[in-house]
Amino acid sequence: MQAEAQYALLELFRDGGIMMYFLVLASLLALGVIIAKAYILFIAHRESKRLLLLIKGRTREDSDLDSTIELAEETQGPVAAIVSSGLRRVRERGHSDKDIEKAINTTGSIELGFLERGLVLLATVANVAPMMGFLGTVAGMISAFGAVADAGQIEASLVAGGIKVALITTATGLTIAIPVNIAYNFFVTRIDRLILDMERGAEKVLELAPPSPVK
C-alpha cells in the first residue's frame, strides 16, 4: 500500500512537468524556515515570559543590578537582551534616561530584525507558489492545444495530457501556498506578542534605573 502511494506521488511529480521541480524546491525552503522559526519563537516566548516573571517584583530599592544582569545574560530571547543591555548602561552610571532608552531601542531593533528573519522568504513562497502553479497551467494548456493543432482534430486523448499537467501544477502550488501563508501569519502574531514583552522589559529597566539628577 505504501509502495503504491509512493509510486502515485512519483507519477504525479513526473506528469506535472518541469514546474514541479521549482515547486518542490520552494516547498523545501519554506519547510526549513518554518521549522527553524517555530523553534526560535517558541524558545524566545518561553524564556521571555520566565524572565519577566522573575524580575516582576524587583524594585529600585531592593534590586541587585548585578544579579539581574546575570539572570538576563543567562536567559535567551529578545527581552533578556533588552534587559541586559539597558541595565548594563544603568550600572555604568552617568548615563541619562535618553542614553538608556537609546541602548534599549538599538538592542530592540537588532532583536526584532533577528525575529523577522526568514519571514520574507515565507511571504515570497506563499505568493509565488500559486503563480508557478498557474504558469504550469498555462504551459499545460499550450501543450494540449498544440497537440490538437498538430493533429488537426479534437480528441480527448490529445488534450488530456496537457490538462492533467495544468491541474497537477495548480493543485501543487495551492497546496504549498496555503500552509505557508498560515505559518507566516502565525509567526507574525507570535512576533507581535514578543514585541509587547520587549516593551514590558524596557519599562522594567527604566523602573530599576535611578532617577536622573536634576540640573
- Asked whether residue 215 is domain-assigned, the answer is no
Residues 6 or more apart whose Cβ sits within 8 Å of residue 169:
16, 17, 19, 20, 23, 132, 133, 134, 135, 136, 137, 139, 140
Output the average pLDDT for the chain: 81
- Asked whether residue 214 is domain-assigned, the answer is no
Of 174 and 1, more confident: 174
Looking at residue 155, its pLDDT comes to 62
Give the range of the structural domain holding residue 182, as residue numbers without chain letter: 2-208
- Asked whether residue 213 is domain-assigned, the answer is no
Tell me which residue of 82, 77, 108, 44 sits closest to 201, measured CA to CA: 82
- Asked whether residue 96 is domain-assigned, the answer is yes
Q: 20 falls in which pLDDT band (50, 70, 90)?
A: confident
Q: What is the pLDDT of residues 60-94, one digit of tens each?
A: 654 577 788 888 888 888 998 998 888 888 777 65
- Asked whether residue 35 is domain-assigned, the answer is yes
Among left, alpha and beta (phi > 0; psi -120 to 50; other), residue 152 is: left
Helices (H), 78-155: 78-92, 97-115, 119-151
Q: How many structural domains does the chain have? A: 1
Looking at residue 159, its pLDDT comes to 65
- Asked whether residue 190 is domain-assigned, the answer is yes
In this structure, of 21-25, 80-84, 164-168, 197-201, the range with the lowest mean pLDDT score is: 164-168
In this structure, of 41-45, 69-73, 181-185, the range with the lowest mean pLDDT score is: 69-73
Confirm if 163 and 10 have CB atoms less than 8 A apart.
Answer: no
- Asked whether residue 36 is domain-assigned, the answer is yes
Confirm if 185 and 65 have CB atoms less than 8 A apart.
Answer: no
- Asked whether residue 19 is domain-assigned, the answer is yes
Looking at residue 174, its pLDDT comes to 92
| Spatial distance between the Cα atoms of 203 and 82, rounded to a whole number of angstroms | 10
